[in-house]
Amino acid sequence: MKTPTLLLAALLLLLQISGISAASSGQTPIGVLVTNSVTNAPNNTYSTYVTYRGILIGGLRRLQNANTGFKFTYIEDPNYGPYLQSVNGLDGCTQERTYWELKVRKPNGKVIRPNVGIGCYIPSANDQIILNYNKY
């Protein structure tokens, strides 16, 4: 009985150590590009990071705390989670049919629309997060 217990303990220790090393392996650098398709205002670019396997909202919060030129707010929807309400003081508006669109330019240049929002999207290294003010 001692051998299986020791093997199980050793396996659990290995899994725990590998999880710790993966989780503490560092930072995932990302860029943030703020664009405006409604008024064609000048673009703003920023750099930040998420922690290993971290979600986008964490990187946006980190950017906001480190850079006085970047601000964002979000609304917490009980069914769908957080979604962008404003970026740099510009709000999406139902009456004006405007909103903040989330897109991502992957390192290979391909632009995608994630099927999740800022609270669930896990950026890859060197993703360029595009926050685009748009009309619907």
- Quote the Cα angle for 66-44-107, to 5°: 90
Average pLDDT over residues 105-130: 97
CA distance 109 to 56: 19
Q: Report in angstroms the alpha-carbon separations of 22 from 15, 26, 51, 120.
A: 11, 8, 11, 20
Contact (CB, 8 A) for 105 and 99: no
Nearest to 59 by CA among 26, 35, 99, 31: 31
Task: Break the chain into its structural domains and give their ranges.
Answer: 27-135
CA distance 4 to 132: 56
Class of domain 27-135: mainly beta
The pLDDT score that the predictor gives to residue 21 is 41
Residue 59 pLDDT exceeds 80: yes
Residue 8 pLDDT exceeds 60: no
CB atoms within 10 A of CB 91: 14
Contact (CB, 8 A) for 71 and 64: yes
Residue 20 pLDDT exceeds 70: no
pLDDT tens, residue by residue, 88-115:
999 999 999 999 999 999 999 999 999 9
pLDDT tens, residue by residue, 22-41:
444 599 999 999 999 999 89
